[in-house]
Structures are given as structure tokens and as C-alpha cells.
Amino acid sequence: MDFSQILPAMPGLSQGMTLTLKMTASGVIGGVVLGIFLALARLSDVKPLSALAKFYIYYFRSIPLLLVISWFYLAVPLLLNWITGTLEPVGAFTSCLVAFVMFEAAYFAEIVRAGIQAIPKGQANAAYALGMRYHQVMRLVVLPQALRKMMPLLLQQSIILFQDTSLVYAVGLMDFLNTARSKGDIVGLPHEFLIFAGTVYFVISFGASRLVRRLQQRLAV
């Protein structure tokens, strides 16, 4: 085994890791925001809205992420061009980001829904008795408490998303794993570079998992 070529390749690998982390952070933020709206829609008393949110969540949780990435890689440019009326190209990063947000939102929505349902209904009723409206009850009373309960699960799902970003190889994006594979093929050391990439993924994911466990212990009531 020869790992001597990894250090000279670090600038390219760093760029790949930057793309991976950027994709992860953007996907988590967008997925959580959309997931909150989906969770509230599913808990809504408006049956058509609740049914639509339920269908969305079940649908995206029942299909492979790689298939979603491929779909959006082909569909997002056509959709944006149709909306804007222009033929400007849409990059693979934007298409993959939309795919991750739409896909992960289904999982984040279930986490948020479970967190909201874990809050005793008496607190919401008390807030309504004080004259608060629905959006005030959720923003000021329910969601802040639910966030404490669902934070470890949100972070755990974020770690899974970090690992899933490696699937962007299917559309040619040079994330960390794809960059490592490419560099390894160029210098004739594919196994060494893949072992190094796997080690980096393990260290980051394992370290983040330990932090999530410690956070879960601190937030436990």
C-alpha cells in the first residue's frame, strides 16, 4: 500500500470536501425548513392539506435517493427554464441540492411531527386560552420545546445526509468521494485513495455521532 500521493492531492481533496460540506449544510437547512411546513400540514385539521403532506412524506420515503437525484438532475433545468422562460443552464449542484432538500424534508418532517406530538396538549390549550393564535402557539410555545426533544434526531439525520452526498457521483459532481476516486485513478492508486476517503468519512461520522450522543444526554429531561 502506497499512501505517499495523498498529501500532494490534498488541495483537490479539500475542494471536494468543501462541496460535500456545502451540500450537506444547504440540504439540512432547506430540508428542516420544508420539513417543518410538511409536519404542520400533516398535523393540520384541513384534511386535503394533511393528506397531501402525508402522501409527499410516504412517497419520498419509499423511493431510492439515487433515483431522486437522477430525476431532479433531468427535471430541474426543464422546470426552471419553463418558469423563467430562459434557456440558461442549471448546474448539477443546484439540481442535486433540490433533490436532497425535497428528499430529506420527508424524513425531517416525521422527526418534527414526533417532536410536536411529544409536547403535552395542555400547553397549547393554555396558550390558546391566553389569546394566542395558532402561529404564535407553534412559534412561541410548542416548537421551542419540541426542538429540544428532536435535536439529536435532526443531527443524526444530518449525518446520514452527509454520507448520502456521495451519491452525487451519478451526475458527475466532484464531491469528496468522487474526487478521491478520480485522483486515485490518475496516479494509479485507486485502493489507497478509497481507503483514505473511507477513513475520513468514518472519522467525521463517528465523531459527529459521539457528539450527538453527548448532546442527547445533556438535553434529556
Residue 183, in any domain of the structure: yes
pTM of the model: 0.86
In a domain, 2, yes or no: no
Residue span of the structural domain in which 136 resides: 10-219
The CA-atom distances, in angstroms, between 5 and each of 125, 180, 191 are 64, 11, 12
Q: Report the half-sphere exposure of 95 (CA within 13 A, side-chain side).
A: 27
**Mind listing the pLDDT tens digit for each residue in 157-171?**
999 999 999 999 888
Query: Residue 68 sits in a domain of what CATH number?
Result: 1.10.3720.10
Please give the Cα distance from 38 to 42 (Å, whole number). Answer: 6
pLDDT tens-digit map of 1-40: 778 888 989 999 999 999 999 999 999 999 999 999 999 9
Asked if residue 28 is part of any domain, the answer here is yes
65-84 tens-digit pLDDT = 999 998 888 877 777 677 66
Percent of the chain with pLDDT over 90: 50
* Whole-number pLDDT of residue 76: 72
pLDDT digits (tens, 9 = 90+) for 164-210: 999 998 888 899 999 999 999 998 888 999 999 999 999 999 999 99
- Helix count and strand count (H, E) for the chain: 9, 0
- Residue 1 falls within a domain, yes or no? no
Cβ(79)–Cβ(118) below 8 Å: no
Specify if 155 maps to a domain: yes
Give the count of domains, the chain: 1
